[in-house]
Chains A and B, each alone.
Chain A
Amino acid sequence: GQNIDQPTEMTATEGAIVQINCTYQTSGFNGLFWYQQHAGEAPTFLSYNVLDGLEEKGRFSSFLSRSKGYSYLLLKELQMKDSASYLCAVGGLDNNNDMRFGAGTRLTVKP
Protein backbone atom coordinates (compact mmCIF):
# COMPACT_ATOMS: atom_id res chain seq x y z
CA GLY A 1 0.00 0.00 0.00
CA GLN A 2 0.94 3.66 -0.29
CA ASN A 3 -0.70 5.16 2.79
CA ILE A 4 1.30 8.08 4.13
CA ASP A 5 -0.25 9.41 7.32
CA GLN A 6 0.47 12.59 9.23
CA PRO A 7 -1.67 14.70 11.59
CA THR A 8 -3.89 17.25 9.90
CA GLU A 9 -3.21 20.19 12.21
CA MET A 10 -0.95 21.14 15.09
CA THR A 11 -0.56 24.25 17.19
CA ALA A 12 2.50 25.32 19.17
CA THR A 13 3.87 28.36 20.95
CA GLU A 14 6.67 30.60 19.73
CA GLY A 15 10.00 29.45 21.14
CA ALA A 16 8.77 25.91 21.83
CA ILE A 17 9.61 22.57 20.19
CA VAL A 18 7.17 20.63 18.02
CA GLN A 19 7.37 17.12 16.55
CA ILE A 20 5.41 16.22 13.42
CA ASN A 21 5.04 12.49 12.83
CA CYS A 22 4.70 10.61 9.57
CA THR A 23 3.99 6.92 9.06
CA TYR A 24 3.99 5.05 5.79
CA GLN A 25 3.16 1.59 4.51
CA THR A 26 5.40 0.47 1.74
CA SER A 27 6.71 -2.51 -0.17
CA GLY A 28 9.59 -0.44 -1.55
CA PHE A 29 11.44 2.53 -0.18
CA ASN A 30 14.13 4.83 -1.48
CA GLY A 31 14.02 7.73 0.91
CA LEU A 32 11.83 10.03 2.99
CA PHE A 33 11.60 13.76 2.41
CA TRP A 34 10.12 16.67 4.35
CA TYR A 35 8.94 19.85 2.62
CA GLN A 36 7.60 23.15 3.94
CA GLN A 37 4.78 24.89 2.14
CA HIS A 38 3.48 28.34 3.00
CA ALA A 39 -0.10 29.10 1.94
CA GLY A 40 -0.40 29.73 -1.79
CA GLU A 41 3.25 28.95 -2.47
CA ALA A 42 5.23 26.01 -3.80
CA PRO A 43 6.80 23.49 -1.38
CA THR A 44 10.46 23.90 -0.48
CA PHE A 45 12.79 21.09 0.53
CA LEU A 46 13.70 20.71 4.21
CA SER A 47 15.33 17.33 4.74
CA TYR A 48 16.03 13.86 3.38
CA ASN A 49 16.51 10.55 5.22
CA VAL A 50 17.44 7.29 3.58
CA LEU A 51 19.17 5.56 6.51
CA ASP A 52 17.83 5.07 10.02
CA GLY A 53 18.63 7.82 12.46
CA LEU A 54 18.54 11.53 12.98
CA GLU A 55 19.55 14.20 10.47
CA GLU A 56 20.06 17.65 11.95
CA LYS A 57 20.00 20.90 10.01
CA GLY A 58 19.90 24.00 12.14
CA ARG A 59 16.58 24.34 13.95
CA PHE A 60 15.12 21.42 11.97
CA SER A 61 15.85 17.73 12.48
CA SER A 62 14.35 14.67 10.85
CA PHE A 63 14.33 11.09 12.10
CA LEU A 64 13.71 7.84 10.23
CA SER A 65 13.02 4.25 11.27
CA ARG A 66 12.66 2.14 8.14
CA SER A 67 11.67 -1.02 10.01
CA LYS A 68 8.77 0.84 11.63
CA GLY A 69 7.81 2.91 8.58
CA TYR A 70 8.07 6.01 10.74
CA SER A 71 9.59 9.44 10.52
CA TYR A 72 9.30 12.70 12.39
CA LEU A 73 10.26 16.30 11.77
CA LEU A 74 11.41 18.21 14.83
CA LEU A 75 11.27 22.00 14.83
CA LYS A 76 13.08 23.80 17.64
CA GLU A 77 12.92 27.41 18.83
CA LEU A 78 9.72 27.95 16.89
CA GLN A 79 9.26 31.25 15.14
CA MET A 80 6.08 32.82 13.79
CA LYS A 81 7.37 32.33 10.25
CA ASP A 82 7.35 28.55 10.82
CA SER A 83 3.56 28.63 10.50
CA ALA A 84 3.08 26.57 7.35
CA SER A 85 2.13 23.13 6.11
CA TYR A 86 4.73 20.39 6.45
CA LEU A 87 4.60 17.64 3.86
CA CYS A 88 6.04 14.17 4.31
CA ALA A 89 6.98 12.47 1.01
CA VAL A 90 8.21 8.95 0.34
CA GLY A 91 10.19 7.91 -2.70
CA GLY A 92 10.16 4.53 -4.41
CA LEU A 93 6.90 3.22 -2.97
CA ASP A 94 5.85 -0.11 -4.48
CA ASN A 95 9.21 -0.12 -6.25
CA ASN A 96 8.21 2.73 -8.56
CA ASN A 97 10.74 5.46 -9.26
CA ASP A 98 8.45 8.28 -8.13
CA MET A 99 7.43 10.33 -5.10
CA ARG A 100 4.24 10.21 -3.03
CA PHE A 101 3.17 12.94 -0.62
CA GLY A 102 1.16 12.81 2.55
CA ALA A 103 -1.74 15.23 3.00
CA GLY A 104 0.43 17.59 5.05
CA THR A 105 0.32 18.92 8.60
CA ARG A 106 -0.76 22.53 9.02
CA LEU A 107 1.27 24.04 11.86
CA THR A 108 0.15 27.24 13.55
CA VAL A 109 2.68 29.01 15.77
CA LYS A 110 1.11 31.34 18.35
CA PRO A 111 2.80 34.13 20.31
Chain B
Amino acid sequence: DGGITQSPKYLFRKEGQNVTLSCEQNLNHDAMYWYRQDPGQGLRLIYYSQIVNDFQKGDIAEGYSVSREKKESFPLTVTSAQKNPTAFYLCASSIRGVDEQFFGPGTRLTVL
Protein backbone atom coordinates (compact mmCIF):
# COMPACT_ATOMS: atom_id res chain seq x y z
CA ASP B 1 0.00 0.00 0.00
CA GLY B 2 1.24 3.47 -0.89
CA GLY B 3 1.35 6.06 1.82
CA ILE B 4 3.29 8.36 4.07
CA THR B 5 4.52 7.29 7.47
CA GLN B 6 5.85 9.12 10.47
CA SER B 7 7.51 7.67 13.50
CA PRO B 8 7.23 7.60 16.37
CA LYS B 9 3.64 8.61 17.12
CA TYR B 10 4.56 9.96 20.54
CA LEU B 11 7.99 11.24 21.54
CA PHE B 12 9.28 12.56 24.83
CA ARG B 13 12.59 14.36 25.20
CA LYS B 14 14.41 16.32 27.84
CA GLU B 15 14.97 19.99 27.33
CA GLY B 16 18.24 20.74 25.55
CA GLN B 17 18.33 17.52 23.51
CA ASN B 18 18.12 17.38 19.75
CA VAL B 19 15.52 14.99 18.36
CA THR B 20 14.88 13.72 14.82
CA LEU B 21 11.41 12.96 13.49
CA SER B 22 11.11 10.48 10.66
CA CYS B 23 8.99 10.92 7.53
CA GLU B 24 8.91 8.37 4.72
CA GLN B 25 6.71 8.15 1.61
CA ASN B 26 6.40 5.51 -1.11
CA LEU B 27 4.07 7.55 -3.31
CA ASN B 28 6.89 8.65 -5.63
CA HIS B 29 6.07 12.27 -4.78
CA ASP B 30 8.60 14.99 -5.54
CA ALA B 31 7.48 17.50 -2.89
CA MET B 32 7.57 17.02 0.87
CA TYR B 33 6.62 19.34 3.72
CA TRP B 34 6.89 19.69 7.48
CA TYR B 35 4.26 21.53 9.51
CA ARG B 36 3.86 22.31 13.15
CA GLN B 37 0.44 22.48 14.81
CA ASP B 38 -0.19 23.87 18.28
CA PRO B 39 -3.43 23.17 20.19
CA GLY B 40 -6.44 24.82 18.57
CA GLN B 41 -4.39 26.34 15.79
CA GLY B 42 -3.73 25.76 12.12
CA LEU B 43 -0.65 24.36 10.39
CA ARG B 44 2.50 26.42 10.18
CA LEU B 45 5.10 25.56 7.55
CA ILE B 46 8.57 24.72 8.87
CA TYR B 47 10.44 23.49 5.78
CA TYR B 48 9.58 22.14 2.36
CA SER B 49 11.45 20.37 -0.40
CA GLN B 50 10.55 20.24 -4.09
CA ILE B 51 13.35 17.91 -5.13
CA VAL B 52 16.11 15.73 -3.73
CA ASN B 53 19.04 17.65 -2.20
CA ASP B 54 17.09 20.90 -2.13
CA PHE B 55 14.83 22.46 0.50
CA GLN B 56 13.50 25.87 1.50
CA LYS B 57 12.61 27.49 4.80
CA GLY B 58 8.99 28.04 5.69
CA ASP B 59 7.57 30.56 8.13
CA ILE B 60 9.02 29.09 11.34
CA ALA B 61 12.31 27.39 10.36
CA GLU B 62 14.37 28.74 13.26
CA GLY B 63 15.49 25.95 15.58
CA TYR B 64 14.77 23.22 13.01
CA SER B 65 16.84 21.50 10.32
CA VAL B 66 16.02 19.05 7.52
CA SER B 67 17.72 16.95 4.87
CA ARG B 68 16.48 15.44 1.60
CA GLU B 69 19.07 12.88 0.56
CA LYS B 70 16.49 10.48 -0.87
CA LYS B 71 13.19 11.14 -2.62
CA GLU B 72 11.36 8.95 -0.11
CA SER B 73 12.69 10.51 3.07
CA PHE B 74 12.50 13.97 4.66
CA PRO B 75 13.60 13.84 8.32
CA LEU B 76 13.16 16.83 10.61
CA THR B 77 15.54 17.60 13.46
CA VAL B 78 14.25 19.69 16.32
CA THR B 79 17.32 21.30 17.84
CA SER B 80 17.90 22.68 21.31
CA ALA B 81 17.68 26.15 19.76
CA GLN B 82 13.92 25.74 19.29
CA LYS B 83 12.47 27.61 22.24
CA ASN B 84 9.12 25.90 22.51
CA PRO B 85 9.30 22.54 20.69
CA THR B 86 6.30 20.80 22.29
CA ALA B 87 3.75 20.44 19.48
CA PHE B 88 2.11 18.12 16.95
CA TYR B 89 4.35 17.69 13.88
CA LEU B 90 2.85 16.74 10.53
CA CYS B 91 4.70 15.64 7.43
CA ALA B 92 3.05 15.79 4.00
CA SER B 93 3.90 15.02 0.41
CA SER B 94 2.50 15.93 -2.99
CA ILE B 95 3.22 14.93 -6.58
CA ARG B 96 4.65 18.36 -7.15
CA GLY B 97 4.50 21.74 -5.47
CA VAL B 98 1.04 23.26 -5.05
CA ASP B 99 -0.97 20.09 -5.35
CA GLU B 100 -3.12 17.91 -3.11
CA GLN B 101 -1.08 17.02 -0.06
CA PHE B 102 -1.14 13.64 1.64
CA PHE B 103 -0.39 13.73 5.33
CA GLY B 104 1.29 11.28 7.64
CA PRO B 105 -0.35 10.44 10.98
CA GLY B 106 1.82 12.97 12.84
CA THR B 107 4.27 12.88 15.74
CA ARG B 108 3.32 14.42 19.05
CA LEU B 109 6.53 15.74 20.63
CA THR B 110 6.66 16.63 24.30
CA VAL B 111 9.74 18.23 25.75
CA LEU B 112 9.99 17.85 29.50
Query: Per-residue CB proximity of A73-86 to B under 8 Å, as 1/0?
Result: 00000000000000
Q: B75 an interface residue at 8 Å Cβ cutoff?
A: no
* Interchain CB contact under 8 A, A102 and B104: no
* Interchain CB contact under 8 A, B105 and A42: yes
- In the assembled complex, the Cα of A45 lies from the Cα of B101 at a distance in Å of 7
- In the assembled complex, the Cα of A31 lies from the Cα of B101 at a distance in Å of 12
Give the A interface residue count (CB, 8 A).
Answer: 24
Counting residue pairs across A and B whose Cβ atoms lie within 8 Å, the total is 61
Interface residue ranges of B2-50 to A (CB < 8 Å)? 31, 33, 35, 40-45, 48, 50
* Interchain CB contact under 8 A, B45 and A92: no
Give the B interface residue count (CB, 8 A).
Answer: 25
Which chain A positions have C-beta within 8 A of B64? none
Q: B103 an interface residue at 8 Å Cβ cutoff?
A: yes
Nearest-Cβ distance from residue A28 to partner chain B, whole angstroms: 10
Q: B1 an interface residue at 8 Å Cβ cutoff?
A: no
Instruction: Give the nearest-CB partner of A92 in chain B.
Output: B98
Give the dominant DSSP class at A's interface: strand
Given contacts A87-B43, A98-B48, A103-B41, contact A42 B56 (CB under 8 A): no
Residue from the list B98, B104, B105 in contact with A99, Cβ < 8 A: B98
Nearest-Cβ distance from residue A34 to partner chain B, whole angstroms: 11
- Chain B interface (Cβ within 8 Å of chain A)? 31, 33, 35, 40-45, 48, 50, 56, 58-59, 90, 97-106
25 interchain pairs, CB-CB under 8 A: A30-B98, A31-B99, A35-B101, A41-B105, A41-B106, A42-B105, A42-B106, A43-B90, A43-B101, A44-B103, A87-B42, A87-B43, A89-B43, A92-B98, A97-B50, A98-B48, A98-B58, A98-B97, A98-B98, A99-B33, A99-B45, A99-B101, A101-B43, A103-B42, A104-B41
- Chain A interface (Cβ within 8 Å of chain B)? 30-31, 33, 35, 41-45, 48, 87, 89, 91-92, 96-104, 106
